[in-house]
Amino acid sequence: MSAAAACPTAMGFPETSACVGRLAFVYHYVIRAEDLILLNGLPFEEIRPIALEWINRGTDQKLNRMSITMLVRTLYQPTEFSQSVRRLHCAAGLRVSFRTAEERAQF
């Protein structure tokens, strides 16, 4: 049995959980790039994500380093940007990964 066949997401289970290895599951929460400022009010002492990664929310693929740099540089700037930068702002998201569904729900 391949690792993909053993993974519940490959078998049609909800995509909020993903298979890592054969027995461990990771629960994700994706935050739009525009909403990152809301994280300042959360009590991070209680909840610790195991991983953070920038993704394209439309394709669920990781952003490359150049796109991340452009996003971070331009995200909260008041000036007008090119159409490609505006598309990046709309499509980008931060995927936050947790060990349990309870941690994800508390987040």
Contacts of 82 (CB under 8 A, 6+ apart): none
Q: Pull the structure tokens for residue 22.
A: 């054969």
Query: pLDDT band at residue 100, thresholds of 50, 70 and 90?
Result: confident
3-state secondary structure of 48: coil
39-95 pLDDT, tens digit each: 877 776 777 888 899 999 999 999 999 999 999 999 888 778 888 898 999 999 999
Q: What are phi and psi of 57, to 5 degrees?
A: -65, -25
Domain ranges of the chain: 28-106
14-44 pLDDT, tens digit each: 444 444 444 468 888 899 988 888 887 777 6
Indicate if the pLDDT at residue 107 is higher than 90.
no
